[in-house]
Amino acid sequence: MINEGKKRIWKDYQKEIADDRYFYVRSCIRQNFFPASEKAFLRIMQEELKKDVFENAAHTTCSGIGYHSDVVPFDTTMTVIARQFSLMTESGNENLVTSCITSFGLYNEVLETWKHFPDVLKKVRGYLKTATGREFEIPKNVAHASDVIFRFRKEISAIGVNRLVHHETGRPLKVVEHIGCHYSKMFPSKGVGGAEYPYVLVGMVEEWGGEVIDYPERRHCCGFGFRQYLVRANRGYSLANSKKKFESMKPYKPDFILTNCPGCPMFLDRWQYTLSEMEGVTYGENGRGIPVLTYEELAGLILGYDPWDLGLQVHQVPVEPLLDKMGIQYDTSRKFLGKDGQDLGRPDAPSVLKFF
């Protein structure tokens, strides 16, 4: 592997990421999957980096999953997205930040459509006006939330208390970075580092002391391809995708997987349990799985946030081996307590995957 070659490509795919005053649009599924990630993003941005992040509770799904599943027509999707832009415009902001990769890809798809077909933009403005009486401006800057964390990776590192190194040996932790397909595969120039060798997560890992693994199935889908997962009869394909990735990364002995998409951490985490039950296989050390983190969770760990405040207890693959390597203290007795201190109960242990 010639890293200089990758660096040259990374230089070709730089993108502008706004510095402040973000209008944040949340994912419609992440809060069910890894509920604390979006909260961690807001905490990091507002409390640590002192940035202004605006939200509007009236904002909705971008309709991306419905659109990609062919149940929502494109005109409807464009009008829904136009409405999100109207909320941003009404709040006096111009920098849009999406939590979801599918949304990020779809916002870019819609903006590119409007750029090349101004008549379509005019039509959608009409739809929105008729349906809601609203108007909107095109955002000046569209970024994914991982772009924003990437932009401030050095600042996070400077105030961070933990590093991606084994706290006893000083060994850089080995990280598999997995990029959501809709981040840059459709529009390479919209992603940090392009489509083939994206840099957005690599930059974070390197800045925070870790070492990225480049394994053969790095580019492969996590298994959350909508048509594979949403259609029950196709769900085996979803599992096969994830399995292909695990088999490919296993020989490199990754310490954890880092993701930037709502679906990827879900599937790379949960399917490890499923595969262990179906085939008796595990991919981590000593019968454990490979921990999977979102970039907000990782940034939170670097900043010294309590793992249970980051929601790491809802991961199917336990993250404690990673916390131990990083030398992060955690209170086992608090793992299954709710925010109000109420005991939520312990889940049943899987039959193969080592959980407790």
| H helix or E strand, kind and range, residue 126 | helix 118-132
Residue 5 C-beta: closest distance to another protein, Å: 4
The Cα 299–Cα 83 span in angstroms is 31
For another protein, which is the closer residue by CB, 87 or 175?
175
- For another protein, the closer of residues 135 and 285 by Cβ is 285
Residue 251 CB, shortest distance to another protein, in Å, is 6
Residue 246, number of CB atoms within 10 A of its CB: 23
Q: Give the nearer residue to another protein in terms of CB position, either 128 or 205.
A: 205
Burial class (CB in 10 A: 0-12, 13-18, 19+), 42: middle
Phi first, then psi, for residue 100 (nearest 5°) are -105, 140
State the nearest-atom distance from the C-beta of 226 to another protein, in Å: 19
Taking the complex as a whole, the smallest distance from the CB of residue 250 to another protein amounts, in Å, to: 11
CB of 252 to another protein, least distance (A): 7
Give 341: exposed, middle or buried? Use CB within 10 Å, 0-12, 13-18, 19+. exposed
Residues that bind another protein (CB under 8 A): 1-2, 4-6, 8-9, 194-197, 214-219, 251-252
Q: Which positions ≥6 away from 68 have C-beta within 8 Å?
A: 102, 226, 227
- AA identity, residue 302: I
**DSSP notation for 180-211:** -HHHHSS-GGGSTTTTTS--HHHHHHHHTT-E
**Nearest Cα to 174, choosing from 291, 302, 300?**
291
Q: In the complex with another protein, which residue's Cβ is closer, 194 or 311? A: 194
Residue 258: which H helix or E strand, with range? Answer: strand 256-259
What span, in angstroms and rounded, lies between the C-alpha atoms of 243 and 236? 10
Q: What's the min distance (Å) between Cβ of 12 and another protein?
A: 9
The CA R_g of the chain, rounded to the nearest whole Å, is 20
CB of 8 to another protein, least distance (A): 7
Closest approach, Cβ 181 to another protein, in A, equals 13
**Closest CB to another protein among 1 and 233?**
1
Cβ proximity to another protein: between 43 and 174 the closer is: 174
Q: Which is nearer to another protein, 236 or 251 (CB)?
A: 251
Which CB sits closer to another protein, 216 or 347? 216
Residue 255 C-beta: closest distance to another protein, Å: 17
Angle between helices 101-116 and 74-90 (to 10 degrees): 100
For another protein, the closer of residues 209 and 225 by Cβ is 225
CA distances to 46, 96, 191, 280, 295 from 145, rounded to whole Å, are: 13, 9, 12, 36, 9
Q: Which amino acid is at 195?
A: A
190 is written with which tokens? Answer: 């919209």
